[in-house]
Structure 1
Amino acid sequence: MISDQDYKILADEVYDVDNKKNDHPWAKGDTLSNPKLSADYEVLRVEDNTKNGMQAMAVAPIVNGKADTSKVVIAYAGTNQADDLDIATDIQTVGAGSEKLKSFDWFGAPEMVDAQSVTAQQFADSIRNRYPFATITTTGHSLGESLAFYIAAENKWMNVGFNGPYAGSMMSKDGKKWAKDNPGMFYNYRNRNDAIGGLRVTGREFAIIIDMEKDKKMADRFGGAYHSLAMWEFDKKTGRLLIPDNEFNVKAIKKRAENDKQQLLGVLSSTQAWMKFLRNKLKKSGGGLSANEAIFLDSVEALLVLNAQMSTVNATFLEAESFLRRQTEKAEQSWQKSLEAGRTLGHDLSEPEVLDALESIGVSKSIISDQPKERNESKIAEYKEIASSCDTLKTEIHGSIEKLLSVDQQLAKQFQPE
């Protein structure tokens, strides 16, 4: 599954689509590898728009040597401080909601071009049209997260991003309504002391605002340290973003737990809207649904619903797994404390004699540490077995869709990139 840490890495890597920052920008077909990713990712498409400064990248996790395009992530790049087009976007698009960008040339007249929000949607349209059976999510950092949030709201997708100012000025009435009705679809992680990400007063209900327990220097608030992706920490086993357990973060912990519970309803709402669009598209092309088209729609719907269910279950499992692993660590710490107490009280005893003395009063490593660890690991293994069987089913459904499109050329033409 796609973890919070995966989204963070993708939100960082999309900056390298910009050829002004990288001599070897990401290109279609590249493999994105990182030891902290849950899987390698294949780059499906990139865009480096030189007219308005937008960079975007669509990727899919590689499973069994092949891109699993039932799950696609669109990442948008944040502000490049050296790019005047990005600075203009921060002011004109994120700030004022303009769909046109006025770019300035010191040696010529200002030029009006489509804003990044417009081309971000065009990029999203191309990915949705190319992968109609995919569950698409978005991510980004800073300006990139504002764009990712906007695109998710307008397309009824899920968003996991970082340090993004609220995108309300760009959003349509329908987009705002859908976001309000489906808050569980938005995980915009923001640092409490990030003055840039928290620049806008509105939209705080969509942000998970976290106190990372740093030193809170004013220079860091405005200088960017609290706005940096490097500030975030993740569970080493699950990749879930860690929320420090302190008084301020009670609301953040509760907000994320509520999101996890509400997520299924949001994803099912998204699936319903997309299936309605697909049905209308196919009916418009021929007046009715052919047998293959009906099978295609049923298969796509089954895949999307399965993805929706697994997305919610995975979110719940991540919290459960993290809890079980913490319980295992506490059990081991409890045993070490008991062992140390036995050594102190029986300082004249050998190590085996200390262990025998502790066991005689019902205190042993097996009871205190080993057995709880075995129970917890068994529960985790049970989930992984369920997840594996669901992945197998998804692969089978995905394969049937591809086979159907390969034999029905007329149907396949409906979903060629525009």
Structure 2
Amino acid sequence: MPTNDYTDEQRVEIAKQQYLPYSESDPVKIGKNKEKIGYVSQVNNKPTGEQSFVITDKYVPPTASLSERNQVQEITVLYKGSTAPSVSNVLNPFDKEYDDVRKDWLDNDVPTAIQIINGGAPVVTPQLQSSANTLKEAMRLYPNAQVYVYGHSLGSMNAQYAVANVNKKDIGRINGGFFYQGPNIYSNLTPKQQDTVKALNSLDVLFNYVDAKDLVPIGYGVGKSTVGHLIRVDSKKVGAVDQHMWGGYQFDKDGNILTDKEGSLQLAKYATNQQLSAINNLRKGFMKSGGGLSSAEEIFLDAAEGLAITQGMKQTLQGEIRDLKAMFDTAIENAKELWQNTLSDARGIGSKLTEAEILTALSNGGATEAKIVVETVQECEKSLAEATKIEQEYDQLLQQINEAIKSQVETDQQLAKQLGSMYG
């Protein structure tokens, strides 16, 4: 389905592009299949230290005519994170990265971290301000485009601040914001900026990913507001640098990030809405030919909508299953601990009894390992098996819908031709 409809894993791949040395007009491709997401139409390397790319669905630079720029339907703004410090680029003024490191760390990272630790500040760093100008200018240059914003680390702070400064009339154009492993800058925002964030958060289009095993994303916690829905990443432990660079992120076979139930729900809702929006645009494209929808088009669109909704339900269920598994693991550990404590107490009380006599006494009182531990394990495994069976049924349904869509396109050449002309 054509649109900015990517998996969580693909979005991380998109975010990683911020660290690559792209030049203007370069195509931007992700994944093993080198899927093209657009072209670099602008490269920013500002005196504030801000480094960012503006990617458009077709190559249309800022110098193009207004009529050309009006044709751009999607733009993606990528904000680069901090340049990694080294002995050379910190101590050697002749190193090509010397200025980048000083601007990133001394002028932005450290001052902002201090502000966040101390509850915020009324004045932010120049790099955050220039990043906000970058987004506003991109939205002005491409007035008909839907907007996606990505950032990692310092780039996450830049991206968070940029969307907080979007004009109220343009909020509806922000179609997705994805912020990775950066500090929480909400406390640094003015009341007006916080109102803008609240409006965007209510649209469920911003997501702030945090791997708690990484030390960089500070300022998050229970009851603290964030720019975007907080997605708590269920990560594995890796080295400190790799932890910060997405190394601990885990994804399921469908490319969905492993997170808690609330995170899965929010991401599933967003993915479903993105797909349904794309289907609606497809419907409008079919209608342009006049005469209403053909039966083939109606079947195709109905199947596509069913696929989107079913995928969303499955993703939500997967979050529920992970939550259940964590709860069951805790219940089993508690049951094992209870049995060991019960056995220890009994041994202390019946110190003159043999082990067999102690177990018999406990059994007579209704306390056995089978009852306390084994039954708990069996109940948990039964519930998990039932949930997993439902997930498998969703997989079967998704396969059936996909096959139906494929069959419809293969047997209707006119439909295939229309899809090819729209999104080929």
Band the TM-score falls in, shorter-chain normalisation: 0.5 to 0.7
Q: Give the Cα separation in 2 of the matches to 1:48 and 1:80.
A: 23
Shift of 1:393: 0.7
The question of whether the paired residues in 1 share the 8 Å contact of 2:15 and 2:150 is answered with no
The aligned residue for residue 318 of structure 2 is 314
Q: Give the Cα separation in 2 of the matches to 1:179 and 1:360.
A: 62
Q: Give the Cα separation in 2 of the matches to 1:377 and 1:75.
A: 46
Letter aligned with residue 208 of structure 1: L
Shift of 1:161: 4.7
More displaced 10-residue stretch of structure 1: 397-406 or 349-358: 349-358
The question of whether the paired residues in 1 share the 8 Å contact of 2:147 and 2:174 is answered with no
1:4-63 CA distance string (max 9 Å, x none): xx9589738953784459xxxx97562xxxxxxxxxxx764467849525499xxxxxxx
SS in 2 for 1:204: coil
The question of whether the paired residues in 2 share the 8 Å contact of 1:140 and 1:147 is answered with yes
The question of whether the paired residues in 2 share the 8 Å contact of 1:11 and 1:77 is answered with no
Q: Give the Cα separation in 1 of the matches to 2:184 and 2:306.
A: 35
The question of whether the paired residues in 2 share the 8 Å contact of 1:7 and 1:139 is answered with no
The aligned residue for residue 330 of structure 2 is 326
Shift of 1:277: 1.7
The aligned residue for residue 296 of structure 1 is 300
Shift of 1:359: 1.5
Q: Give the Cα separation in 2 of the matches to 1:43 and 1:338.
A: 59
Distance 1:261 1:401, change over 3 A: closer
1:181 matched to 2:191? The reply is no
Alignment of 1:127-142 (within 5 A): 141-142=152-153
The aligned residue for residue 36 of structure 1 is none
Q: Give the Cα separation in 1 of the matches to 2:269 and 2:15.
A: 29
Q: Give the Cα separation in 2 of the matches to 1:283 and 1:380.
A: 46
Alignment of 1:350-365 (within 5 A): 350-365=354-369
SS in 1 for 2:230: strand
Which TM-score applies when normalising by structure 2?
A: 0.54
The aligned residue for residue 15 of structure 1 is 16
Larger Rg: 2
Distance 1:49 1:208, change over 3 A: same
The aligned residue for residue 81 of structure 2 is 79
Q: Give the Cα separation in 1 of the matches to 2:351 and 2:199.
A: 67
1:194-245 CA distance string (max 9 Å, x none): 67888xxx973635398xxxxxxxxxxxxx99x9467989999x97557xxx
1:281-333 CA distance string (max 9 Å, x none): 11114542122111110110100111222233333333333222211211111
Of 388, 392, 397, the residue aligned with 2:396 is 392
Q: Give the Cα separation in 1 of the matches to 2:249 and 2:343.
A: 32
Shift of 1:270: 4.7
1:380 matched to 2:384? The reply is yes
Consecutive unaligned residues of structure 1, counting only runs of 5 or more, are 1-5, 31-41, 57-73, 101-113, 125-137, 170-174, 211-223, 243-255
Q: Give the Cα separation in 2 of the matches to 1:367 and 1:285.
A: 69
Distance 1:195 1:342, change over 3 A: closer
SS in 2 for 1:208: strand
Letter aligned with residue 200 of structure 2: A
Q: Give the Cα separation in 1 of the matches to 2:29 and 2:205.
A: 32
Q: Report the number of matched residues.
A: 316
Shift of 1:123: 10
Shift of 1:368: 1.0
Alignment of 1:12-161 (within 5 A): 15=16, 18-20=19-21, 30=32, 44-45=35-36, 49=40, 52=43, 53-54=52-53, 78-81=80-83, 91=128, 94-100=131-137, 141-142=152-153, 143=155, 154=173, 161=180
Which TM-score applies when normalising by structure 1?
A: 0.55
Distance 1:358 1:184, change over 3 A: farther
Q: Give the Cα separation in 1 of the matches to 2:159 and 2:272.
A: 23
SS in 1 for 2:288: helix
Distance 1:241 1:368, change over 3 A: same
1:239-285 CA distance string (max 9 Å, x none): 7557xxxxxxxxxxxxx75x767777666655554333221111114
Of 228, 239, 262, the residue aligned with 1:206 is 228
Consecutive unaligned residues of structure 2, counting only runs of 5 or more, are 1-6, 23-27, 44-51, 56-75, 85-96, 109-125, 164-170, 191-195, 233-239
The aligned residue for residue 163 of structure 1 is 182
The question of whether the paired residues in 2 share the 8 Å contact of 1:76 and 1:145 is answered with no
User: How much identity, in percent, do the aligned residues show?
Assistant: 19
1:370 matched to 2:374? The reply is yes
Q: Give the Cα separation in 2 of the matches to 1:9 and 1:335.
A: 46
Shift of 1:358: 1.9
